[in-house]
Chain A
Amino acid sequence: MQPEQIDIQRFLKRFPPFDDLPDEALIHLAKQIEIAYYVAGSDILNYAEPVNDLFVVRSGAVETFRRNGDLYNRLDMGGIFGQMGLMMRGRVRFPAKALEDSLLYCIPADLFNDYCDQHEGFSNYFEVDNAALLHQSVVDQTNKNDLTTDKAKCLLKRGVVTVTKNTPISKAALIMTQEQVSSLLITDPDKPIESDPEDDDGQAIGIITDRDFITRVIGQELDLQTPISEVMSPDMVTLDENAYVYEVMLAMLRFNVHHLPILKKKKPIGIITLADIVRYESQSSLFLVRGIFAQQSVAELASYAQWIPEAFVRMVNEDANSHMIGSAMSVIGRSFKQRLLELAEDTLGKPPIPYCFLALGSMARDEQLLVTDQDNAMILDDNYVAELHGEYFSALTKFVCDGLNACGYVYCTGDIMATNPKWQLTLSQWKDLFSQWITRPDPEALLHCSIFFDLDGVWGESQWAAELRRHIAIQAKGNSKFLAALARNALSRKPPLGFFKEFVMEKDGRHNNTINLKRRGTAPLTDVIRVHALAVGSRARNSFERLDDIIEAKLLPDGSAQDLSDALEYLSIVRVKHQATDVNQKLEPDNNIEPDNLSRFERRNLKEAFQVLSAAQNFLKYRHTANTTMAGIKK
């Protein structure tokens, strides 16, 4: 019997995938190890040679290379290489060289294969498709969270109470009292439900709440025989029963409604009230948002804004996913803008002409986190006359932008703010400007694209924002010259290779102490997704929703849009957690990640995410270069 190799065992136990092996299996493995020493600079594996072992770096450092000689990875203690070769017919795929004097543990191929057969966790680690691992880790994270996994229907306690559209107000009120509900759905028997023809109540066409009764019926002294359909709210915000609880919450925040009907195949099955959500999620950002609208001055708002980091940390602690956190923080940011605009209009009086206040960038994408500057702009009515209206709007925008700055949404260094006359344009002027950017994509135009193409109306005539998005989508789709230029621009920020020891590893072999995960990770990924989204004519604002459109359009090879989604989620959540840690430690939150503070698991997944981004950039380059060439031939 072989003796136990206690030191080897202890060493392997510290690193994945060995840490997952049962003790017996680990002991057995350690007994079979072979050890080899390589001097710095010597070749360990040469391309296409047979590979008979899996290698684990015990000390020193090893570099692996792509076939074309590009650095593929740099590994230090605990790093593993040779697995690709072992799984690909036993030939070396990534040549390896000792960077430092290195001691390597070699696990013979037969043993490696046995362990892959016998231990699922072990073989999972070596999945050829590493993106699958990233996906698993994203799924694992999501599964922990109730808000993201619980469906809206689980909040429904009773069936919905409905009346038909011709029911008189008096009778409707009586039914509400009898049934002890705070809202009623109004149905139209002339609109049958396809999925349930037996139901002669018909589709829901509106909603009325107890509050509506006070304002619209009693307040107006209406005739009690008036049909209910005349006082109901026809623009109902509804969600499907499969919506997640957090989506219900976000819809309530976004549309400022307290009652939200839930439909099953268009048939109403219940109403979720704000109170239901609050009971369910008593500490949510809902409170924060409601509080924003209660603040009476800029000073009060600025003081209230101090609660934002706490709400953020709370969401992180509740294991919310990045989409939720990004959406909630954006709703909060939007609410500050809305309240500031209300206050501004209170001070300056009603606006002389209609306008729309725009959020740009991450807020418009519902991807805002803690560290953020204000990017905003304004659409003015086409009847705008500078001499008549200019003064009002410069006062209004100054009030809002100063206020936002006071609330922690600092001034944009690039002066992309509504105060800048360049970005106070009429709807027609905006359309012309976007058309100009798309037809003549010079560097400055491209720079603007990544900010202005993500836009959302937060106040006033928000349908104008939707109109601009439609305008952009139509103009950009199929414009291969513009898309190619945008694609090139999206390649300017490259992800790093990964990590090595306490450093960030760059592709040219350089080391950095920290990595800005926004600039090097989420932002370039968002850029790539935007190009694809524009190419398929998507009008979605959020990157994840853009990815849904991209998947539907079958633009990308199978699975790669999912990879992008997983990579974005992972990069975002690491950023989110980093910011939460900063807040907890009373530090100014930022996006700079120090590799030292990452677990091996995080490093590994981040590296995979960077690789997904890198592959996506390569794909973009290939795709749009091809497009330009084709366009050239057509001429």
Chain B
Amino acid sequence: MRNYRHSVSLDISKCKGCTTCLKRCPTEAIRIRDGHAQINSDRCIDCGECIKVCPHKAKRAVHDSLKDMKNYTVTVALPAPALYGQFNNLTNIDYIIDGLGKVGFDYVFEVACAAEMVSAYTRTYLGRDGVSKPVISSACPVITRMIGMNFPYLADHIMPLLPPVEIAAKLARDAAAREHPELSPTEIGVFLISPCPAKVSYVKNGFAGDKNNIDRVISVRDVYFALLDVMKNGSIPEGTSSAGMIGIGWATTGGESSAVFNDRYLAADGIENCIRVLEQIDNEDFTDLDFIELNACSGGCVGGAMTVANPYIAGARLGSLKRYLPVSPNRPADGDIPDYCFSDGEVHYDGGYTLSSDRNEAMRMMSEIESITAGLPGIDCGSCGAPTCEAFAEDIVKNETNADECTIIMRELFHECIERRRKELLSEKIGSSKPKNGAEVDSKK
């Protein structure tokens, strides 16, 4: 996919060109060139891993701002349930819903409520005939993009339902439009409060196709700080949150799949673990599973790069927040899946790793890569700017770098040069004082 709009950006002035992000990027999308990181946008899946690991805070998530509210007559906030886990000592979600009003939003529609609907529809979908199992959750946009890049065969295992954020956006927009028939759609601003940059890309690239109803994506972090200011007032708000246990559970790994009410599920998190699971399903392992929940972030959505709290602490807080809530108050009366909940966007194989569109040329390049790799030290140190020696060989063959960037080989050459020069100097010296022995020293190499 060309011209993909990413939501991870680099502040060159802060980047020291260290190899931390280079080594952690799951798609090998990063190279260090001219002393700083470069992201190959064809390969970046917006997982946010580089943002999380950067020791110099040079990587940032690009997202909209609360100030963008002024562009709309009416605004709706869609808080992801991960937001609720950010606050210490929060006893009631109503404080957050109330606070979002004080921050300036006219309406609030909780993503957790839509998540409960999606859970009900997932159960219906799993019961249908002819469904390719295991069904893979469509909620994490990093995973769906990963499947498009590397696991094209699994594309028809992805649940064809819109993720909860999109269903929340549709319902919230419709409700706002009903309340304000005088407004045109562009005057209503639907703001997703997202824990991760991947949701920003999902919206900016229109992955929901015509069904995209989200106008702006703002970060849980920005909203957290804005809420801290207004929530201090201490007034006890009315009961405005309607999320239940299942909806809030979606913020942490296992929440979505336990709501399937079926033991044949798997839930994994962390992008590397998810890739391993996908590799195995791709090889037709796990054939007795019905449902697979994969979250690119450790801990689930609470682990997103646009959050504040430690994901496991946030998860523990959510656990106590949801303990006394009803199980699933937003479950639809019947499980029939309405048409608007189906996704238009298909996942396509984009062949982003192909060396050349000409097979013969690709074969020639591959041979060259193999032979160059065999001569490299194989320690994958990253000093050359590529994550592995093999990736370095590929970059050489693609003329994107030079073989002399390998510091290990250069060090060996340097030592050889020094040694040769030392012997030359030695033989000159000995040769000048004891001419008869000069030839003997030389013959030793």
| A-B complex is real | no
